[in-house]
Amino acid sequence: MKTFNLCFLGFGNVGHALVRLLGEKSAEMREEYGIEWRITGVATRRAGWIASAEGLAVESLLSGEFAAGSSSSQSKSSESSESKSNESSPTNVREWLAAARCDVMFEITSLEPLTGQPAVEHVRAALESGAHVVTANKGTIVHAYRELRSLALARGRHFLFDATVADMPVFSLFRECLPAARLHAFRGIFNSTTGVILEEMERGRTFADGVRRAQALGVTETDPAYDVDGWDAAVKTCALVNVLMDAPLSLDQIEREGIRGLDAEDVRAARAAGRPYKLVSRAERDAEGRVVARVGAEQIASDDPLAAAGGTSLVINFELDILPGLTLTAHHPDLRSTAYGLLSDFINAVRAET
């Protein structure tokens, strides 16, 4: 039975949900996969770089009772605290990983769509230190997928990211269950925030009301503009193209238009006509084999596979050479759904070591 040291870079709502799920699934992981775990590092803007190789107390982490810059205040034993008390606290990601003796790093910081930083550097540092990396940050795939994949292979580590797109196990599905299947095209609704806003507008409320509703549900990016202007959907589209279609598409090659320009009357009329607006992402190979991608508002007919996406629900329809219409739907995903993507990647990353 091996105990893995886990480090959390970013510890917001998703991080808290993951810690709770780890606790809930501990017995199953121990009995079915021979996996034990302890949290040895947490890093946030507010608290700084916190590390204790002996382990941090889960209850204290969930309650937020840790002091900025402390490397020992959450350790499970007074002996650990005493042994760390005279050591200087980590001041950067590489020092932090070393102090925590990290086996698996969860990179769950906020999305920065234009460069993917500092998440890309975080992942690079963790792989170079010998840790597996599990991320929910889409920017790492869009801006550095091939580099980080090659680095992981060279170091004998895993770089996994099932929690990045639509709260569905899309990447592991293709990796494990669809060998030799060629993806020709996909269409999807990848952003919950815009779905909530459009439905609020259909009910006669304002765009701003919709944003507030989405924020109350906890589905928006830190900056809601990333949702409503189509950045979040474009980044997810770019990630799918890069990984599943093996095409080096950059974010600026995706035609992108959000939902700000939609007229409220038009939104209500479209719903009344049975063809509501949705923010749709699409990508396909053209006659020359190049991948063309777009994100924008489209009207969806009732018999369209994407019509299954209501409220916060998300859906993807794939066109493959052997499966012309494979559709995945996540009905009302939440923080627990995202946390499960991280948990499953953790298990898959380390199961060969137990």
Give catalytic residues, as residue numbers. 236
3-state helix, strand, coil in the chain (%, to 5): 45, 20, 35
Please give the Cα distance from 158 to 278 (Å, whole number): 35
Q: Give all strands of the β-sheet with 48-51 in edge-to-edge order.
A: 48-51, 35-44, 2-9, 104-107, 132-135, 159-160
**Tokens 């886990």 found at:** 6
Q: How far apart are CA 238 and CA 178, in angstroms?
A: 20
59, exposed or middle or buried, with CB in 10 Å at 0-12, 13-18, 19+?
Answer: exposed
CA angle 333, 195, 203 (to 5 degrees): 125
Q: How far apart are CA 56 and CA 200, in angstroms?
A: 43
**Cβ–Cβ under 8 Å, residues 209 and 203:** no
Cα-Cα-Cα-Cα dihedral of 237, 243, 246, 247, to 10°? 30
